Amino acid sequence: MRLWAEDLTCIRGERKVFAGVGFSLRASEALTVTGANGAGKSSLLRLIAGLLRLAGGHLALEGGDPELDLAGQAHYLGHQDALKTSLTTLENLRFWYRYLGGGCNMAESALDAVGLNGLADLPASYLSAGQRRRLSIARLVAVKRPIWLLDEPTSALDKAGQAQLAAMMRQHLAGGGLIVAATHGPIGLAATHELHLGGTA
């Protein structure tokens, strides 16, 4: 499997966020995307996820599921946690599990994987920022997809949560997955490819 990009251009509104961006990433490899605020780190992830329109260049996935497009084979974890506060922790995860094409069989084990199994019946509105982040991360393991697009994945996580996420990422890579992570700091992976985006803060 190979995810590659060539001469990508992103325009939002009337502003050109970036141009001429390219990379190549194979199975079991990770790419960290760095740069100042406003450089386009989040926009690049959203382009790959199919949430923004590509203004120029080429973006492709080789060797993936021929029945699915790139977006259908990727998990996008934004820097804001997409949760419904009126639902319980477990209900939130079950919603995403069904929305992403699964049933409910993996929801409980995914909560256990992120250390939230004891909070399954607690409304999401009562979760701390770190617990909300863990619940968002649970989607990554509840529904298997080969590409993880992570925007500031360690945000709000304590040291234990960061170590737990790093272990999950290493396991994902060991299974042939790919990771693209926008970050301002280390994410706990020993070796990654790096892409620095220019721009102003």
DSSP string, 77-131: E-SS----TTSBHHHHHHHHHHHTT--STTHHHHHHHTT-GGGTTSBGGGS-HHH
Q: What would the CATH number be for the domain defined by 2-197?
A: 3.40.50.300
Residue 198 has pLDDT above 70, yes or no: yes
Look at strands 30-35 and 178-182 and give their pairing. Answer: parallel
Over residues 131-167, the pLDDT tens digits come to: 999 999 998 888 889 999 999 999 889 999 999 999 9
Residue 104 has pLDDT above 70, yes or no: no
State the Cα–Cα distance between residues 44 and 46, nearest whole angstrom.
5
DSSP letter for 182, please.
E
State the Cα–Cα distance between residues 120 and 92, nearest whole angstrom.
9
Residue 201 has pLDDT above 80, yes or no: no
Residue 191 has pLDDT above 90, yes or no: no
Sign of CA dihedral 158, 143, 97, 90: negative
- CA distances for 62 relative to 8, 19, 29, 68, 85, angstroms: 17, 23, 14, 12, 38
**Taking a C-beta distance cutoff of 8 angstroms, is the pair 124, 88 a contact?**
yes
Question: Which of these, 75, 181, 164, 187, lies nearest to 115 by C-alpha position?
Answer: 164
Report field, pTM of the whole predicted structure over 0.85: yes
Over residues 57-94, the pLDDT tens digits come to: 999 999 999 999 999 999 999 887 788 888 999 999 88
Please give the backbone phi and psi of residue 199, each rounded to the nearest 5 degrees, phi first. 145, 175
Look at strands 15-26 and 2-12 and give their pairing. Answer: antiparallel
DSSP letter for 119, please.
G
User: What are residue 123's DSSP bridge partners?
Assistant: 88
Annotated domain spans of the chain: 2-197
